Structure 1
Amino acid sequence: MKDIIIGIDAGTSVIKAVAFDLRGRQLAAGSVLNHYLSGADGSACQSLDQTWADCVAAIRSLGDKLPDLAARTAAVAVTAQGDGTWLVGAGNRPVSNAWLWLDARAAPTVRDLAAGPLNRARFEATGTGLNTCQQGTQMAHMDRYAPELLDQSQVALHCKDWLYLCLTGEQATDPSEASFTFGNFRTRQYDDTVIEALGLSHRRHLLPQIIDGTQVTHLLSSEAAVQTGLLAGTPVSLGYVDMVMTALGAGVHTGTVGAACSTIGSTGVHMQAKRSGDVHLNAEGTGYVIALPVPDVVTQVQTNMAATLNIDWALRLAADLMSDTGKPVEYSDLVSRIEGWVSRAKPGALIYHPYISEAGERGPFVNANARAGFVGLAAHHRFPDMLRAVIEGLGMAARDCYAAMNAEPTELRITGGAARSQALRQILASSIKAPVRVSQREEAGAAGCAMMAAVAIGAYDTMDDCIGEWVTPLLGQAEQPDPDLARVYDQVFPAYVSARQSLPPVWDALQGDPRAPWTKATDPHDEHTEMTLDATFVSERSER
């Protein structure tokens, strides 16, 4: 009996293979820790072959936990970290390591493109502001400084597209990443003006076909079947980008008017589902508009480069200081102390801007030089005050993002590892001034793409039918904002925004000369450090 759908979620920190029954009950999961290379030039790269090998290992691990997995699998679906550039050449072989969404090398090209005459038209079509994460800007940067990479390529893919190619032999991408990078969110197709605005008209042949995984599947190849242990001919569905797959699994679109969804993982993703005609495009030209696998429904999105990475930094700082006393302390050992530290600190005493990422910030503004910092430190402040400010900074950043979308959520569904923190949930609810609900779904990203496969194979007639059974019943009880805390944050928020609007000259001065463009004379493997994103707060691959 074919009663299992496997959802693959290939994240920056972990690659997971998760088994669900046809009614959405999670049965088992297998996972493999992911790795990437980080360089002093701002690069962040990942091996395509290793990513596929890790995906195979995750599927094999799942097979060890579920008897007769191959015979029971009705379909496979795949999603993965978004943005980035995964170049594939002759024989479907990698041209180079992938440039990840974390890669900051395209910063000078982003500045040039943003000042171009077609940039507003590009934004009106895609609904998406330019940043260093995106495939379009990365390819434009390569075209300027390393054209041989594109010359050797037959197709430019994203992470999930690469895994789909490995699974099926088909070169394809999905409507979500295609439209927010190179297309129009209204038509979900490529757009000539957008491609021209990026200076890539002569590279258009590198863009793959667009397929919707709720309608089109391809069959698991014989080669992939041997490697994964699954049966050749099993239908494979190409999911949408991980951000919306996670949001779909967590409840961004359930029919509740005004509901929104925030993912608080390594990065922060804040979104609200809307009809395409109701999208509010801000004057600053920032954010994303990303299609959902529902007709004419998109998500308007603002994303922070760093969310729990800020908490990681604070706890690592504490662990390092404590370890220097002679008794080694692991940063993960301090996670259990967060609630106590936060409860001892006065709300709103400090302002913290959570721009800890080396790549700067992309939501609700784009600035590669943006950096984190405290405002208001005094001699009486201690570590609990600073830690509380860090977490409150995530709440302020979320509020800043929703304001840029002209959105006032009536209810906030939250997911990501940090959703386990009661202190963070209360701070978020009070910052946004809306009740929060946490989905009981353990692996929302894998569930989102598995839902697409469920519709594709006919287990459900529509995605809304599937949502009604896979998502809505798993939403937890609403946790109300604290009125007193909300009043404090109403006073703090204008100062938070005013400070971050005043800081760009300071950030620029600290950064010094703009980072030199990466060129072919720079070996992208020099001075690289192998990195993993810590999984302390990561219960799912929603963090990107």
Structure 2
Amino acid sequence: MPDVLIGIDAGTSVIKSVAFDTAGRQLAAAAVPNRYETLPGGGAEQDLARTWADTATTLRQLADKVPDLASRTIAIAVTGQGDGTWLIDKDGEPVAKGWLWLDARAAAIVEEIRARPDDRLRFEKTGSGLAACQQGPQLAFMKRSAPDMLADATTAFHCKDWLYFNLTGERATDPSEGTFTFGDFRTRGYCDEVLEVLGVADLRHLLPPIVDGTRHSAGLSAAAAEATGLLSGTPVVLAYVDVACTALGAGLLDRERKPGCSIIGSTGMHMRLAQTPDEVLLNEARTGYTMTMPTPGVFAQMQSNMAATLNIDWVLSLASGILASQGITRTNGEMIALVDQWISVSEPASLLYQPYVSEAGERGPFVDANARAGFVGISSRHGYADMVRAVFEGLAFASRDCYAAMGPL
């Protein structure tokens, strides 16, 4: 009897597949490191074919850990990193590499749109601030810089949509990503007025249908079954974007206590529950996100600092890089194991760190594509341990700033 649920999460750092029993207990997991490349001018791209191949690999590896996985699987759900633009043609083949949420090439277009009065209309419809990471500005940039690429495209996906397409052959996106960039969060559908403000109304044909995974599934295709070792016809669900799924699993949907929820991943996501559209706080700075949750009429309101663990990876790479230059190799895991020791020998608030290490700048609680990281107050008495502590403290302050932008703490 089928008794296993499979979740796929194609993140920025890792692509993983996890098997759960029907009580939600994890049975096994398989993961491979994700790979992408950064380009001059702020580009960040990822190969679509390799992303699908890596995902299929994790599913085959999972089958090695769970006996009779194929026959025991009830259903598969797929989510992944948000934002970005993954274009395919009429035959389902990639038009180009996928543009990631880390891509900053559309920064100037974001500044242009945000400077116009009609951006307030866009913000009030979507409930979301505008940033270079989003598909709307990225499509607008492509119109100016790569019109031939758009001419070959028939569908604009996000990462998880591309994987769902490979699993099922169905072109679709989910309500969370479909509406916070191009839609009206109140109706959970696309909004022509938003497309006009973004300057991409003529690209409306690229947007796939919005399907709600709480009510819709498609069967695993024969080609995907062969690639993954699972059974053709196994139900596949297009889940909401990764942060919405994490919020749900972390307990954000608690109508009584209304907790906050922070995800300290490659980017930092800080969330509060809005039980009705009227509870969504639209600030004057036009920042943050409003994402539909997989529950009717309920939303996760978010503020996101662009770089979270990216700052930690950077500061640790300084030390590992110096060691490597001397022929000493240390993995990232080995460096992380030393963090507590460094923090314990350093003084609180001895330095201030601004955690804007991403080439894309900052998107919450303010938007500035030119924001960059830096230490304030450094002197000859400070050492590496002080810098490590300041990075973690800087991320804590950034989290507080994000919550403060969504209402009383």
TM-score class normalised by the smaller sequence: over 0.9
* Range that drifts further, 253-262 or 66-75: 253-262
Trace 1:363-382 onto structure 2 (pairs within 5 A).
363-382=364-383
State the match for 1:318 in structure 2: 319
How far is 1:329 from its partner? 4.6
Residues 87 and 153, structure 1, Cα contact 8 Å, conserved in 2: yes
Residues 306 and 355, structure 1, Cα contact 8 Å, conserved in 2: yes
Tell me, in whole angstroms, the C-alpha distance in 2 between the residues paired with 1:298 and 1:190: 17
The one-letter code of the counterpart of 1:283 is E
> CA offsets per residue over residues 191-212 of structure 1, 9 Å max, x none?
1110110111111111111110
How far is 1:34 from its partner? 1.2
State the match for 1:119 in structure 2: 119
Trace 1:33-44 onto structure 2 (pairs within 5 A).
33-44=33-44
Tell me, in whole angstroms, the C-alpha distance in 1 between the residues paired with 2:5 and 2:329: 44
Residues 252 and 258, structure 2, Cα contact 8 Å, conserved in 1: no
* Range that drifts further, 188-197 or 339-348: 339-348
1:407 and 1:172, CA in 2 relative to 1: closer, same or farther beyond 3 A? farther
TM-score normalized by structure 1?
Answer: 0.73
State the match for 1:65 in structure 2: 65
TM-score normalized by structure 2?
Answer: 0.97
How far is 1:332 from its partner? 3.8
Residues 12 and 266, structure 2, Cα contact 8 Å, conserved in 1: no
> CA offsets per residue over residues 440-461 of structure 1, 9 Å max, x none?
xxxxxxxxxxxxxxxxxxxxxx
- For residue 335 of structure 2, give the secondary structure of its aligned residue in structure 1: helix
Residues 70 and 231, structure 2, Cα contact 8 Å, conserved in 1: yes
1:235 is aligned to 2:253 = no
Tell which has more relative contact order, 1 or 2 (C-alpha 8 A, sep 6+).
Answer: 1
Tell me, in whole angstroms, the C-alpha distance in 2 between the residues paired with 1:324 and 1:152: 46
Trace 1:275-290 onto structure 2 (pairs within 5 A).
275=275, 276-290=277-291
Tell me, in whole angstroms, the C-alpha distance in 2 between the residues paired with 1:177 and 1:2: 31
Trace 1:215-226 onto structure 2 (pairs within 5 A).
215-226=215-226
Tell me, in whole angstroms, the C-alpha distance in 2 between the residues paired with 1:111 and 1:83: 18
> CA offsets per residue over residues 47-83 of structure 1, 9 Å max, x none?
1111111111111111111111111111111001100
The one-letter code of the counterpart of 1:53 is A
Tell me, in whole angstroms, the C-alpha distance in 1 between the residues paired with 2:37 and 2:224: 26
How far is 1:254 from its partner? 2.9
1:55 and 1:330, CA in 2 relative to 1: closer, same or farther beyond 3 A? closer
- For residue 92 of structure 1, give the secondary structure of its aligned residue in structure 2: coil
State the match for 2:265 in structure 1: 265
1:169 and 1:407, CA in 2 relative to 1: closer, same or farther beyond 3 A? farther
1:382 and 1:157, CA in 2 relative to 1: closer, same or farther beyond 3 A? same
* Range that drifts further, 221-230 or 74-83: 221-230
How far is 1:266 from its partner? 1.8
Number of aligned residue pairs: give it: 408
1:91 is aligned to 2:100 = no
1:189 and 1:28, CA in 2 relative to 1: closer, same or farther beyond 3 A? same
> Tell me, which stretches of 5 or more residues in structure 1 are unaligned?
409-544
1:11 is aligned to 2:8 = no
1:130 is aligned to 2:138 = no
State the match for 2:80 in structure 1: 80
1:25 is aligned to 2:18 = no
- For residue 310 of structure 2, give the secondary structure of its aligned residue in structure 1: helix
The one-letter code of the counterpart of 2:358 is S
Trace 1:345-424 onto structure 2 (pairs within 5 A).
345-408=346-409
- For residue 338 of structure 2, give the secondary structure of its aligned residue in structure 1: helix
Tell me, in whole angstroms, the C-alpha distance in 1 between the residues paired with 2:376 and 2:102: 27
**What is the percent sequence identity of the aligned residues?**
56
How far is 1:325 from its partner? 5.6
The one-letter code of the counterpart of 1:389 is A
How far is 1:127 from its partner? 0.9
Residues 318 and 331, structure 1, Cα contact 8 Å, conserved in 2: no
* Range that drifts further, 382-391 or 61-70: 382-391
State the match for 1:538 in structure 2: none
State the match for 1:340 in structure 2: 341
1:33 and 1:320, CA in 2 relative to 1: closer, same or farther beyond 3 A? closer
How far is 1:324 from its partner? 5.0
- For residue 173 of structure 1, give the secondary structure of its aligned residue in structure 2: coil
RMSD, aligned CA: 1.4
> CA offsets per residue over residues 143-201 of structure 1, 9 Å max, x none?
12211121111111111111111111111100000110100111110011101101111
How far is 1:117 from its partner? 3.3
- For residue 75 of structure 2, give the secondary structure of its aligned residue in structure 1: strand
State the match for 1:309 in structure 2: 310
Tell me, in whole angstroms, the C-alpha distance in 2 between the residues paired with 1:45 and 1:152: 18
Higher helix share: 1
Tell me, in whole angstroms, the C-alpha distance in 2 between the residues paired with 1:37 and 1:328: 23
